[in-house]
A = this chain, B = another copy of it.
Amino acid sequence: MNTIGQYLRLTTFGESHGPAMGGVLDGMPSRVNIDIDSIQKELERRAPGKGGATSPRKEPDKLEILSGISADGLTLGSSIGFIIRNCDARAKEYSELIDCFRPNHADYTYYTKYGIHDFRGGGRSSARETVSWVAAGAIVRQWLSEYGIEVKAKYIRTADVQKAVQTGDSAGGAVECVITGLQAGIGEPVFGKLHSRLAAAMMGINAAKAFEYGDGMASAQMYGSECQDIPFVGEDGKVRFRSNHSGGIQGGISNGMPVNFKVYFKPTPTIPQTVETIDVEGNEVSITPAGRHDACVAIRAVPVVEAMALLTVGDLLIVSNRL
Protein backbone atom coordinates (compact mmCIF):
# COMPACT_ATOMS: atom_id res chain seq x y z
CA MET A 1 0.00 0.00 0.00
CA ASN A 2 0.94 3.63 -0.23
CA THR A 3 0.78 4.53 3.47
CA ILE A 4 3.50 4.29 6.12
CA GLY A 5 3.05 4.85 9.84
CA GLN A 6 0.38 4.08 12.40
CA TYR A 7 -0.40 7.43 13.94
CA LEU A 8 1.89 9.79 12.04
CA ARG A 9 1.05 8.55 8.58
CA LEU A 10 2.34 9.45 5.17
CA THR A 11 0.21 8.47 2.17
CA THR A 12 1.77 9.14 -1.23
CA PHE A 13 0.78 9.17 -4.86
CA GLY A 14 2.22 10.02 -8.27
CA GLU A 15 3.84 8.41 -11.27
CA SER A 16 7.20 9.80 -12.39
CA HIS A 17 5.80 10.50 -15.85
CA GLY A 18 2.46 11.85 -14.62
CA PRO A 19 1.53 15.45 -13.74
CA ALA A 20 2.67 15.44 -10.10
CA MET A 21 4.02 13.57 -7.11
CA GLY A 22 2.46 14.25 -3.73
CA GLY A 23 1.46 13.08 -0.30
CA VAL A 24 -0.70 13.54 2.76
CA LEU A 25 1.05 13.71 6.13
CA ASP A 26 -1.54 12.96 8.80
CA GLY A 27 -1.12 13.01 12.57
CA MET A 28 1.21 15.98 13.01
CA PRO A 29 0.51 17.82 16.27
CA SER A 30 -0.92 21.32 15.98
CA ARG A 31 1.03 24.53 16.66
CA VAL A 32 4.40 23.36 15.38
CA ASN A 33 6.35 26.08 13.55
CA ILE A 34 7.24 25.02 10.02
CA ASP A 35 9.70 26.89 7.84
CA ILE A 36 8.77 26.16 4.23
CA ASP A 37 12.17 27.22 2.92
CA SER A 38 13.79 24.49 4.99
CA ILE A 39 11.61 21.90 3.29
CA GLN A 40 12.56 23.27 -0.09
CA LYS A 41 16.24 23.03 0.83
CA GLU A 42 15.83 19.35 1.69
CA LEU A 43 14.31 18.75 -1.71
CA GLU A 44 17.37 20.36 -3.25
CA ARG A 45 19.65 18.09 -1.21
CA ARG A 46 17.86 15.16 -2.80
CA ALA A 47 17.81 16.60 -6.34
CA PRO A 48 19.96 14.93 -9.00
CA GLY A 49 22.59 16.56 -11.16
CA LYS A 50 25.21 17.24 -8.53
CA GLY A 51 28.37 15.72 -9.87
CA GLY A 52 28.77 13.11 -12.53
CA ALA A 53 27.73 10.42 -10.17
CA THR A 54 24.10 11.35 -10.32
CA SER A 55 21.53 11.73 -13.04
CA PRO A 56 21.63 15.01 -15.02
CA ARG A 57 17.83 15.14 -15.01
CA LYS A 58 16.66 18.63 -14.14
CA GLU A 59 13.88 18.67 -11.62
CA PRO A 60 13.01 22.00 -10.01
CA ASP A 61 10.93 20.11 -7.41
CA LYS A 62 8.87 23.07 -6.29
CA LEU A 63 6.82 22.11 -3.24
CA GLU A 64 3.21 23.32 -2.98
CA ILE A 65 1.55 22.88 0.39
CA LEU A 66 -2.23 22.64 0.06
CA SER A 67 -3.43 22.22 3.64
CA GLY A 68 -2.57 21.67 7.28
CA ILE A 69 -0.14 24.58 7.67
CA SER A 70 -1.38 28.13 8.16
CA ALA A 71 -0.14 31.08 6.11
CA ASP A 72 2.16 32.04 8.98
CA GLY A 73 3.72 28.57 9.12
CA LEU A 74 1.90 26.91 12.01
CA THR A 75 0.58 23.35 11.79
CA LEU A 76 -3.19 23.20 12.28
CA GLY A 77 -3.38 19.59 13.49
CA SER A 78 -5.11 18.66 10.25
CA SER A 79 -3.72 16.50 7.45
CA ILE A 80 -0.96 18.20 5.45
CA GLY A 81 -1.50 17.76 1.70
CA PHE A 82 1.28 18.68 -0.68
CA ILE A 83 2.29 18.21 -4.31
CA ILE A 84 5.43 18.57 -6.42
CA ARG A 85 4.78 18.98 -10.15
CA ASN A 86 6.72 16.84 -12.61
CA CYS A 87 8.13 19.47 -14.95
CA ASP A 88 10.65 17.36 -16.76
CA ALA A 89 8.94 14.12 -17.63
CA ARG A 90 10.35 13.28 -21.04
CA ALA A 91 8.37 10.13 -21.61
CA LYS A 92 9.44 10.00 -25.23
CA GLU A 93 13.01 9.33 -24.31
CA TYR A 94 11.91 6.01 -22.90
CA SER A 95 9.82 5.12 -25.93
CA GLU A 96 12.32 2.65 -27.33
CA LEU A 97 11.86 0.51 -24.26
CA ILE A 98 8.11 0.22 -24.51
CA ASP A 99 7.02 -3.37 -24.20
CA CYS A 100 10.44 -4.54 -22.95
CA PHE A 101 11.23 -5.56 -19.36
CA ARG A 102 14.39 -3.83 -18.14
CA PRO A 103 16.47 -6.40 -16.18
CA ASN A 104 16.60 -5.93 -12.39
CA HIS A 105 13.91 -3.32 -12.58
CA ALA A 106 10.29 -3.64 -11.43
CA ASP A 107 8.94 -3.76 -15.00
CA TYR A 108 8.24 -7.47 -15.08
CA THR A 109 6.87 -7.77 -11.55
CA TYR A 110 4.55 -4.77 -11.99
CA TYR A 111 3.32 -6.32 -15.20
CA THR A 112 2.49 -9.62 -13.49
CA LYS A 113 0.75 -7.76 -10.68
CA TYR A 114 -1.25 -5.12 -12.54
CA GLY A 115 -1.45 -6.42 -16.10
CA ILE A 116 -0.23 -3.05 -17.32
CA HIS A 117 3.12 -2.25 -18.87
CA ASP A 118 3.31 1.51 -18.50
CA PHE A 119 6.77 1.91 -17.14
CA ARG A 120 8.03 5.14 -18.63
CA GLY A 121 10.22 6.35 -15.79
CA GLY A 122 9.16 3.44 -13.61
CA GLY A 123 5.66 4.47 -12.52
CA ARG A 124 5.39 4.05 -8.76
CA SER A 125 8.69 2.13 -8.64
CA SER A 126 10.72 5.15 -9.74
CA ALA A 127 13.03 6.81 -7.23
CA ARG A 128 11.19 10.01 -8.11
CA GLU A 129 8.66 8.81 -5.49
CA THR A 130 11.14 9.67 -2.75
CA VAL A 131 10.67 13.39 -3.34
CA SER A 132 7.42 13.12 -1.34
CA TRP A 133 9.15 11.26 1.45
CA VAL A 134 11.83 13.92 1.74
CA ALA A 135 9.19 16.67 1.83
CA ALA A 136 7.30 14.91 4.62
CA GLY A 137 10.48 14.10 6.50
CA ALA A 138 11.50 17.75 6.38
CA ILE A 139 8.26 18.70 8.14
CA VAL A 140 8.75 16.04 10.80
CA ARG A 141 12.36 17.11 11.29
CA GLN A 142 11.27 20.58 12.40
CA TRP A 143 8.86 19.09 14.92
CA LEU A 144 11.37 16.60 16.35
CA SER A 145 14.07 19.23 16.64
CA GLU A 146 11.81 20.93 19.22
CA TYR A 147 12.48 17.81 21.34
CA GLY A 148 16.20 17.86 20.61
CA ILE A 149 16.00 14.87 18.30
CA GLU A 150 18.32 15.08 15.30
CA VAL A 151 18.75 12.63 12.41
CA LYS A 152 21.95 12.73 10.34
CA ALA A 153 23.01 10.34 7.59
CA LYS A 154 26.10 10.11 5.39
CA TYR A 155 27.20 8.21 2.33
CA ILE A 156 29.72 5.38 2.83
CA ARG A 157 31.84 4.64 -0.21
CA THR A 158 31.93 0.89 -0.87
CA ALA A 159 32.59 0.88 -4.64
CA ASP A 160 34.39 3.19 -7.08
CA VAL A 161 31.65 5.45 -8.43
CA GLN A 162 33.83 7.61 -10.68
CA LYS A 163 35.10 4.50 -12.39
CA ALA A 164 31.54 3.36 -12.93
CA VAL A 165 30.60 6.70 -14.46
CA GLN A 166 33.47 6.51 -16.90
CA THR A 167 32.67 2.99 -18.04
CA GLY A 168 28.95 3.60 -18.41
CA ASP A 169 28.33 1.41 -15.41
CA SER A 170 26.77 1.97 -11.98
CA ALA A 171 28.00 1.21 -8.46
CA GLY A 172 26.62 0.07 -5.11
CA GLY A 173 27.01 2.03 -1.89
CA ALA A 174 25.93 2.37 1.71
CA VAL A 175 24.44 4.99 4.02
CA GLU A 176 25.05 5.29 7.75
CA CYS A 177 22.52 7.11 9.91
CA VAL A 178 22.60 8.32 13.53
CA ILE A 179 19.63 9.51 15.59
CA THR A 180 20.62 11.61 18.59
CA GLY A 181 18.54 13.08 21.39
CA LEU A 182 15.99 10.29 21.44
CA GLN A 183 14.82 9.63 24.97
CA ALA A 184 14.74 6.12 26.44
CA GLY A 185 11.45 4.22 26.15
CA ILE A 186 10.57 4.78 22.48
CA GLY A 187 9.58 1.70 20.46
CA GLU A 188 7.08 -1.05 21.07
CA PRO A 189 7.67 -4.59 22.24
CA VAL A 190 7.18 -7.67 20.13
CA PHE A 191 6.07 -6.56 16.62
CA GLY A 192 6.66 -2.80 16.76
CA LYS A 193 10.31 -2.76 17.78
CA LEU A 194 12.17 0.43 16.92
CA HIS A 195 14.72 -1.40 14.77
CA SER A 196 11.99 -3.48 13.15
CA ARG A 197 10.18 -0.32 12.11
CA LEU A 198 13.43 1.28 10.94
CA ALA A 199 14.29 -1.82 8.90
CA ALA A 200 10.89 -1.81 7.21
CA ALA A 201 11.18 1.87 6.36
CA MET A 202 14.73 1.59 5.02
CA MET A 203 14.06 -1.53 2.98
CA GLY A 204 11.28 0.42 1.29
CA ILE A 205 13.88 2.71 -0.30
CA ASN A 206 14.65 1.89 -3.92
CA ALA A 207 17.63 -0.46 -4.36
CA ALA A 208 18.09 -1.15 -0.61
CA LYS A 209 19.35 -4.69 -0.06
CA ALA A 210 20.44 -4.91 3.59
CA PHE A 211 19.88 -3.29 6.98
CA GLU A 212 21.83 -3.56 10.20
CA TYR A 213 21.88 -1.65 13.49
CA GLY A 214 24.44 -1.38 16.28
CA ASP A 215 27.10 -4.06 15.80
CA GLY A 216 24.80 -5.49 13.12
CA MET A 217 26.05 -8.34 10.99
CA ALA A 218 29.38 -8.40 12.86
CA SER A 219 27.44 -9.48 15.97
CA ALA A 220 27.03 -12.91 14.45
CA GLN A 221 30.78 -13.47 14.78
CA MET A 222 31.01 -12.22 18.34
CA TYR A 223 30.79 -13.82 21.79
CA GLY A 224 28.46 -12.60 24.51
CA SER A 225 31.32 -11.48 26.72
CA GLU A 226 32.55 -9.15 23.96
CA CYS A 227 29.45 -7.05 23.45
CA GLN A 228 28.01 -6.10 26.82
CA ASP A 229 26.80 -2.51 27.20
CA ILE A 230 27.29 -1.75 30.89
CA PRO A 231 24.97 0.90 32.33
CA PHE A 232 26.05 3.54 34.82
CA VAL A 233 24.66 6.72 36.29
CA GLY A 234 26.35 9.87 34.99
CA GLU A 235 27.21 12.93 37.02
CA ASP A 236 23.97 14.51 35.86
CA GLY A 237 22.03 11.61 37.36
CA LYS A 238 21.12 10.15 33.99
CA VAL A 239 21.63 6.54 32.99
CA ARG A 240 24.20 5.97 30.25
CA PHE A 241 26.05 2.97 28.85
CA ARG A 242 29.83 2.46 28.66
CA SER A 243 29.55 1.20 25.07
CA ASN A 244 26.92 1.06 22.35
CA HIS A 245 27.03 -2.40 20.76
CA SER A 246 23.24 -2.27 20.98
CA GLY A 247 22.99 0.72 18.65
CA GLY A 248 20.84 2.55 21.18
CA ILE A 249 18.11 -0.09 21.15
CA GLN A 250 17.48 -2.92 23.64
CA GLY A 251 14.48 -5.22 23.35
CA GLY A 252 13.23 -3.00 20.55
CA ILE A 253 13.08 0.10 22.74
CA SER A 254 15.46 3.07 22.78
CA ASN A 255 17.84 3.21 25.73
CA GLY A 256 18.81 6.87 25.46
CA MET A 257 22.09 6.30 23.61
CA PRO A 258 22.48 7.37 19.95
CA VAL A 259 20.57 5.08 17.61
CA ASN A 260 22.70 4.05 14.65
CA PHE A 261 22.12 1.86 11.64
CA LYS A 262 23.35 1.25 8.10
CA VAL A 263 21.56 0.62 4.82
CA TYR A 264 23.25 -1.09 1.85
CA PHE A 265 22.25 -0.33 -1.71
CA LYS A 266 22.78 -2.26 -4.93
CA PRO A 267 24.04 -0.47 -8.07
CA THR A 268 21.44 1.35 -10.18
CA PRO A 269 19.79 -1.44 -12.18
CA THR A 270 19.46 0.49 -15.42
CA ILE A 271 22.78 1.29 -17.13
CA PRO A 272 23.48 2.59 -20.66
CA GLN A 273 24.76 -0.74 -21.93
CA THR A 274 23.12 -3.17 -24.31
CA VAL A 275 21.47 -5.99 -22.42
CA GLU A 276 19.43 -9.08 -23.29
CA THR A 277 15.84 -9.26 -22.05
CA ILE A 278 12.33 -10.19 -23.19
CA ASP A 279 9.33 -8.14 -24.22
CA VAL A 280 5.75 -8.51 -22.95
CA GLU A 281 5.08 -11.24 -25.50
CA GLY A 282 8.07 -13.25 -24.39
CA ASN A 283 10.32 -12.53 -27.39
CA GLU A 284 14.04 -12.24 -26.69
CA VAL A 285 15.26 -8.72 -27.43
CA SER A 286 18.31 -6.52 -26.86
CA ILE A 287 17.84 -3.06 -25.42
CA THR A 288 20.15 -0.13 -24.67
CA PRO A 289 18.53 2.06 -22.02
CA ALA A 290 18.93 5.76 -22.79
CA GLY A 291 17.16 7.46 -19.88
CA ARG A 292 18.98 9.57 -17.29
CA HIS A 293 19.95 7.61 -14.19
CA ASP A 294 22.18 8.00 -11.19
CA ALA A 295 25.40 6.03 -11.27
CA CYS A 296 25.11 5.40 -7.52
CA VAL A 297 21.72 5.57 -5.85
CA ALA A 298 23.29 5.49 -2.39
CA ILE A 299 24.58 9.06 -2.82
CA ARG A 300 21.14 10.50 -3.42
CA ALA A 301 19.64 8.16 -0.82
CA VAL A 302 21.24 10.09 2.06
CA PRO A 303 18.36 12.57 2.58
CA VAL A 304 15.87 9.78 1.84
CA VAL A 305 17.29 7.62 4.65
CA GLU A 306 17.01 10.62 6.97
CA ALA A 307 13.42 11.26 5.90
CA MET A 308 12.36 7.68 6.53
CA ALA A 309 14.09 7.68 9.92
CA LEU A 310 12.32 10.93 10.83
CA LEU A 311 8.92 9.55 9.85
CA THR A 312 9.55 6.34 11.79
CA VAL A 313 10.76 8.04 14.95
CA GLY A 314 7.98 10.65 14.81
CA ASP A 315 5.36 7.92 14.55
CA LEU A 316 6.78 5.85 17.40
CA LEU A 317 7.12 8.94 19.57
CA ILE A 318 3.36 9.41 19.35
CA VAL A 319 2.53 5.71 19.59
CA SER A 320 4.82 5.31 22.61
CA ASN A 321 3.39 8.35 24.33
CA ARG A 322 1.56 7.11 27.40
CA LEU A 323 -1.27 8.69 29.38
Contacts and interface: CB of A to CB of B under 8 A. Distances in A.
Interface residues of A, number: 141
How many copies, total?
4
Interface stretch (A33-41, A42-50, A51-59, A99-107): A99-107
Interface string A178-211: 0000001101111111011101111110000111
Contacts of A80: 13
Given A172-B219, A273-B225, A77 B3 contact: no
Interface string A257-297: 00000001111111101011110001010000000000000
A170 B222 CA distance: 9
Contacts of A251: 105-106, 109-110, 125
A43 B72 CA distance: 31
B210 A212 contact: yes
A19 interface: yes
Given A197-B200, A216-B264, A224 B189 contact: no
A231 interface: yes
B222 A266 contact: yes
A322 B112 CA distance: 11
Interface string A101-139: 101111011101111101000011100010000000000
15 contacts: A3-B26, A4-B191, A19-B64, A20-B66, A20-B81, A76-B123, A103-B231, A108-B184, A109-B184, A109-B254, A110-B253, A172-B223, A199-B211, A209-B215, A226-B267
Interface of A: 1-4, 6-7, 9, 11-15, 18-24, 26-27, 29-31, 64, 66-68, 70, 74, 76-81, 83, 101, 103-106, 108-110, 112-116, 118, 123-125, 129, 158-159, 164, 169-174, 184-185, 187-193, 195-197, 199-204, 209-217, 219-233, 237, 239, 245-246, 249-256, 264-271, 273, 275-278, 282, 284, 298, 317-323
